Chains A and B, each alone.
Chain A
Amino acid sequence: MLDASAPVVHQHAPPTSFIRKWVFSVDHKVIGKQYYGLALISVFLGMILSWLMRFHLVWTNAAIPGLQLISKNGAPGGVMTPEYYLSLLTMHGTLMVFFVLTNAPFAGFGNYFLPIQVGAEDMAFPRFNMMSFWVTFVAFVVLIAAFFIPDGPPISGWTAYAPLSAVGRDAGPGLAWGQTLWAISIGLFCVGQLLGSLNFIATTLDLRTKGMTLSRLPISTWAWFITSCIGLLAFAVLLPACVLLILDRVAGTSFFIPAGLVISDHLQPHAGGSPLLWQHLFWFFGHPEVYIAIVPAVGIVSHILMASMRKPLLSVKVVYSSMIAIGFLSYMVWGHHMFLSGMNPFSGLVFSFPTLVITIPATIITMIWIGSVYGANLRFHTPCLFSLGFISVFVAGGVSGFFLAQPSLDIQLHGTYFVVGHFHMVMGVAAIFGILAGSYFWFPKMTGRMMNDTLGRLHFWITFIGVYCIFMPFHYLGLAGNVRRYSSFVDDYLQPLLPLHKFITIAAFITGAAQFIFLYNLIYSRFKGAPAPANPWDATSLEWSTTSPPPFDNFGGRHVVVYHGPNEYGVSGAHGDFIMQDSSEPGPEPVPGD
């Protein structure tokens, strides 16, 4: 830790050329914005894919003008074929889970704000950091390339179950080069994430400034730190799984393919492999991955809530301890994705128990949030609205998990829209609300300009009501047994459900359109927004103690010394009802009711 009187030594000199400043930059702030930008492109692309999918489900044989230009085979005459629907579904899931939910809240905001929040000048390994972004970018390009090859993108879902994904083009369109490109892309993505996780852990442990003990870390930093620990092991398992999949596809190995399979009238030349092996490897990664997607949002929302409520949470220690418990338990539950997979049914009971138990720390965090609102002085700006909205949708998504955690209920609900509703509520809505809350909260710091709060509120209201209109009905469809991943609904029992699907599709178009309000606000405010002060939200953590935007070394040569924890809200401070972490004023009076 730095001595306040020591001379300033910069980690790296400020860049001068355009390429070094904005393209191949080692500055964590630029890298954070690059990740965020990549996530922004991915989320709008993923959203357009979902529009195409929802349209096709309701108006199955209608032509979508222009679609045949993107894929002649996938949409002859503009009418989507069944395989093209599945390839859009696969790309939607892959883009959203990897390139949006892992990129934005973790790599995006984490890269930008973790060094600043711990009082450091940059990440521990700036060049690794730059490499991790560019590897992720190449992964993105490889994935998108699958749209433009003749055979089209893969059709096996983001979960890519074997042997469908492993045997090659016999299994259908998209399963030739498209699937291989997918596996290469995800393998590269894992490398990028591993490099990033290493950086986050090293920076949090070693680059904290003087006075920044672990217990004084902002809750968002705790979240990024815990997420990177989860990610290190999870991505380290997905990477070899992708390698094995590629080998099965191109090198004639049979890790995931048993003998005797007849596909497209060809007896497959493989023997000895196990489809269940892929599922175990994938979900051993896949379950921690969903916590990688949500834990940063939990941290960001907790961080923003305190600034919005003007009081600390009932106990920040309980919250990050619960996050650690969730991280730990997340490695014990992967089999709940496989209750009906054909693995030993006794395993079903074994996995069910920790899955139910993981509800406990999640409930503790949620009840701490709600309990903390009691007695607050809420300021209802846009970041606050999205944070409160996050609590609501996190509860909605969490309770449906309770059903799926029980194997006996999974018998009825597995593979239905109930599952789709559950994971969209927690990931597609809650995690996105965390990203949006963080965007509105940190935009002033990152750009030096304020976003338009009126547009922000409009965006919130349409989105908040819209997501319930879209995803709550998914649960009803699932209870009725509506199977998922169907490109159209031809079964008899599905016909009475079509009006509900129409309602959902229209809600999806409206809610999706509202996201362009956010995009417009982002772009307009970037250039024409009102100038932002250093601390527009009266918040306590170190990012608010520096200029908006921060100088290249974050603190302008100043040695930051930390005197307080990050939760001093609702106290008598020199500048208001809060005390900043690096303020040398004396400690607070206890909050009434403590």
Chain B
Amino acid sequence: MGKLLAVVLVLIAVGSAIPILMHTWWMPEDISTHGHMIDRQMSETMAESGIAFVAAQLVLAAFVAMFGDKKDGRKAKHLPGGAKLVVIAAIALVGTEVLALGVFGKDAWAEVYFRKPVADAIPIQVQAEQFGFYFRYAGPDGKFGPMHPEKIDEGSQNFFGLDPEHDVESRDDIVSASLVIPMNKEISLMMHAKDVGHSFYVRELRIQQDFVPGLDIPMHFTATKAGKYEIVCTQLCGLGHYNMRAFLEVKSPEEFDQWLKQQSQ
């Protein structure tokens, strides 16, 4: 029985490790400027955890195979070094890992959260609602018109509750169901929730942030590769949560300017 358990443990350890080593199911390519820090952290953590996982299963397997009750009257014995050795080893191994990952890991976090967007970042507002994302650009006047919740009328596509009749700054605001941005330019995203909690996640951009009703939350990022990517909601927001997404379209600067001009007409 012990040998059978040992074999199963080894198979489990190896079987679990293979898809990881082969990146069978893995993060998509990184198209952001800060993502490489997260990816490096991920690889380091995966290496340390992976080794710890496999080692624990293999050592357990070895001991289980070796130390079954052979009914030969042999007295049980302790591991040389005893508890003291184990405690010191545990503290040394995990302690150093904790320090390394904790201390060095803060750079990725700091890059996303501890600095303000650069001065010429493009400001875009995103509103999350049950069940879609809508985006607003300031338009040629560079100003966002005020939002009036009581004026929201989805049937006429007034998702932000704008009042262009009375608010001059709202007249040139561009509302879009897709997030269209130029490549290699920092975007300053202002996140607003209309109804309940939602979240903004783009795997390729290596960013994720919850929307909090009552809080307007700033985010910034820069995309480095053109293409179409999915923005998905990751915070349970009601029955349509599974179908809450929008597309991020990263264009060349010229294509973006063209698109912006088209929207203004």
Residues of A at the B interface (CB closer than 8 Å) are 81-83, 86, 155-157, 161-164, 167, 171-173, 257-263, 265, 267, 273-276, 309-311, 314-315, 318, 340-342, 345-346, 348-349, 352-353, 356-357, 359-360, 363-364, 366-368, 370-380, 385, 388, 391-392, 395-396, 399-400, 402-403, 406-409, 411-412, 414-416, 457, 461, 464-465, 468, 472, 476-477, 479-481, 483-493, 497, 500, 569-570, 577, 591-594
Contact A406 B102 (CB under 8 A): yes
Please name the residue on chain B nearest to A481 by beta carbon. B203
Contact A310 B76 (CB under 8 A): yes
Q: Which 8 A-B pairs have the closest CB atoms?
A: A258-B214, A415-B234, A315-B83, A311-B76, A570-B76, A593-B78, A408-B108, A345-B113
Chain B residues with Cβ below 8 Å from A591 are 75-78
What are 17 A-B pairs at a CB distance below 8 A? Answer: A260-B214, A261-B149, A262-B195, A265-B152, A310-B76, A314-B82, A314-B86, A342-B212, A345-B114, A371-B86, A375-B77, A461-B8, A472-B16, A487-B241, A488-B242, A491-B232, A570-B76
Knowing A357-B98, A363-B94, the reply to whether A481 touches B196 (Cβ < 8 A) is no
Distance of A345 Cα from B70 Cα, bound (Å): 57
CB distance from A411 to the nearest CB of B (A): 5
Distance of A400 Cα from B230 Cα, bound (Å): 26
In the complex, which of the residues B94, B109, B236 has the most CB atoms of chain A within 10 Å of its own CB atom?
B236
CB of B177 within 8 A of chain A? no
Contact B25 A408 (CB under 8 A): no
Chain B residues with Cβ below 8 Å from A385 are 1, 5
Chain B residues with Cβ below 8 Å from A348 are 109, 113
CB of B52 within 8 A of chain A? yes
Which of B25, B80, B94 contacts A479 (CB under 8 A)?
Answer: B25
CB distance from A259 to the nearest CB of B (A): 7
Contact B78 A497 (CB under 8 A): no
Total A-B pairs, Cβ < 8 A: 324
CB distance from B33 to the nearest CB of A (A): 14
Chain B residues with Cβ below 8 Å from A395 are 52-53, 56-57
CB distance from B249 to the nearest CB of A (A): 14
Mark out the residues of chain B between 158 and 187 whose CB falls within 8 Å of any chain A CB in the assembled complex: 161
Stretch at the interface among B38-46, B132-140, B251-259: B38-46
Please name the residue on chain B nearest to A84 by beta carbon. B239
Chain A residues with Cβ below 8 Å from B102 are 352-353, 356, 406
CB of B265 within 8 A of chain A? no
CB of B150 within 8 A of chain A? yes
Distance of A86 Cα from B243 Cα, bound (Å): 13
Distance of A274 Cα from B215 Cα, bound (Å): 9
In the complex, which of the residues A310, A318, A411, A480 has the most CB atoms of chain B within 10 Å of its own CB atom?
A411
Distance of A81 Cα from B240 Cα, bound (Å): 10
Contact B213 A311 (CB under 8 A): no
Which of A157, A173, A373, A400 contacts B60 (CB under 8 A)?
Answer: A373
Contact with A along B1-29 (1 / 0, CB 8 A): 11001001100100110011000111110
